[in-house]
Chain A
Amino acid sequence: MKNRLRVLRAERQWSQADLAQKLAVSRQSVNAIETGKFDPSLPLAFRLARLFETTIEAIFLEES
């Protein structure tokens, strides 16, 4: 699954460590999600959407 996490993070000038701290996860988790190696659970996706003040669909894009 593709996602716009890196773009959204860059817009706010947050490092991976900053985002990880805000989400209370490890920096490796943020990196794995950004690179598409790991798809987050629904609760974590909602936390991301809340943090970026957007919807889950605006962050995660289904690959067709």
Chain B
Amino acid sequence: MSACNRDLNRFQLRHMRLVGAMLACSVAITSGVPALSGRQELSNSTQLILGLLAAGPIIGTMIVIARYLRGETDEYLRSLVVRSILWGFGVVMVSDTLIGAIVEYHPHHAPFGLFNMDIFVVTSMIALRIQLWRDR
């Protein structure tokens, strides 16, 4: 994976770019949704659409990762990617729980939950990079 290894084949590069594109979409949406929702009172259907819009890149990323894991012929890299994804999910769950607790005691409207995707991708990439570095 590109951020982690320069020796990428075309298949890996394509999926890496797709994950990057999903992350860019996520960043754009997480920047745009609070700006939209903060300006005016939104109807329930608009809120639902904005919620689905925010979930879009996450669903897209899951599809890209699933397709990558199905197509990756190097079983060791596959196992590293799976481990990295688990790290990503773990950190997202910990940060969500932590932020959930903080918001519970100090309620305000900061949209921390919208950054789940960003935290997931960045953590997974760091985990993958560390694992590949250990096996260099």
Contact = CB atoms under 8 A, between A and B. Distances in A.
The judgment on whether A and B are partners is: yes
Interface of A: 24-29, 31-33, 35, 37-38, 40-41, 44
B73 A33 contact: no
A35 B73 CA distance: 21
B75 A37 contact: no
B73 A38 contact: no
Contact of B75 (A27, A29, A31, A35): A29
Shortest Cβ-Cβ A-B pairs, 3 listed: A29-B76, A28-B135, A25-B74
Contacts of A37: 135
Contacts of B132: 28
A28 B80 CA distance: 10
A17 to B, nearest CB: 9
A33 B79 CA distance: 13
A44 B80 CA distance: 17
B126 interface: no
A41 to B, nearest CB: 5
A40 B77 contact: no
Contact of B79 (A24, A31, A38): A38
Which of B75, B132, B135 has the most chain A CB atoms inside 10 A of its CB?
B135
B41 interface: no
A28 B73 contact: no
A17 B27 CA distance: 38
B136 interface: yes
Contact of A44 (B5, B75, B77): B75
A29 B132 CA distance: 10
A41 B5 CA distance: 23
